[in-house]
Amino acid sequence: MKKEPNKKLIGFFMLASLVLLIFLIGKNIVQNYMASKRNLVVMYFSESIAGLNIGSNVVYEGVQVGKVVKIEIKTDPKTLEFSIPVYVRFSQDNDFSHMSFSNHVTRREFLELLIKKGLRARLDTQNFLTGQLMIDLFWDETSPIIYHVNEDDADDDGHKILEIPTTLSAFGNFARDIQDLPLKQIIRRFDNVLEKLENDLPGLIKTYETTGTKLGSYLDKSIPQTNQSLNQLNQTLKDVSNASKSIKNLADYLERHPDSVIKGKKGE
């Protein structure tokens, strides 16, 4: 007869496997939840974030250190001003914030030290074809530290989520410079110039036509005189050339016959 399997032993192994599986899943969930709360930071950008999505990369010196996990739109009921907080979670694999000067410095304190030293965030283009943006962490000691007041930016423990100050991107700086230009004054002055040119253009054209006619008449009259003067100048140059040749011949003769000055030429 076949020996029947031990149902109690099988049930025990199945129950142990189920408990182990639930334990591993729970541990993974707890670790991810705690890590997300511990590594969560917020950023506020003073420009359009079109192209920045959940899952966009956060890089430092080209190395990915985190991702965007949440983007919200909040309104202040007192001032009716809108703000768009962007929440970022640092990855544990490439998280530069896990370093510390000593065991007594927490991760948050270390990030605060980096911010005081000049750590800033700005938008940057990740893909020019799709317009996808990413967040670039860099150093700018001259940039002021500006924090946004938002009572909702707190974790489950009641601590305010750490905010990393931001600066304008290259495109944002360019757009700001364009906005600072007095475009209305420039356009108004340009319109005035065009209007004045349009009013003065007929008179200018008539003046140019009169000047051109006078210049043409003067050239017609002066061409014969100019030709005569050129002929006289050519004849004068020929006479001067002939005279210089005669003087040169005389000098050569005197050099060969210096006594001819006293005796005169032979045959005279």
Tens place of pLDDT per residue across the chain (268 aa): 456 666 666 777 777 788 888 877 776 665 555 545 556 899 999 888 999 999 999 999 888 988 999 999 888 778 888 889 999 998 765 556 555 455 667 778 888 889 999 999 999 998 888 889 999 999 998 888 888 876 666 555 556 888 999 998 888 777 766 666 666 777 777 777 777 777 766 777 767 667 767 666 666 666 665 666 666 767 777 776 777 777 777 666 666 666 655 555 554 4
Residue after which a domain boundary falls, among 139, 159, 180: 180
Q: Are residues 239 and 255 located together in one domain of the fold?
A: yes
Query: Among residues 180, 209, 232, which one ends one of the domains?
Result: 180
- Tell me, yes or no, whether 12 lies in a domain: no
Instruction: Report in angstroms the alpha-carbon separations of 122 from 40, 61, 66.
Output: 17, 13, 14
Write the burial class of residue 192 (CB in 10 Å: 0-12 exposed, 13-18 middle, 19+ buried).
exposed
Looking only at the bridges linking them, the beta strands covering 40-44 and 162-163 are: parallel
What does the pLDDT read at residue 228?
65
Q: Is the residue at 30 inside a domain? A: no
From 155, 180, 205, the end of a domain falls on: 180
Give pLDDT, residue 54. Answer: 93
User: 6 lies in a domain?
Assistant: no
* pLDDT value of residue 2: 55
State both tokens at 228.
Answer: 């005569």
Q: What are the φ and ψ backbone dihedral angles of 135, each rounded to 5 degrees?
A: -105, 125
**Cα distance between residue 209 and residue 190, in whole Å:** 27
Residue pair 130/110 in contact (Cβ under 8 Å)? The answer is: no
CB atoms within 10 A of CB 42: 18
Q: What is the pLDDT of residue 33?
A: 52
Report whether 161 contacts 87 (CB < 8 A): yes
Question: What residue numbers bound the domain in which 136 lies?
Answer: 36-180
CB 93 within 8 A of CB 86: no
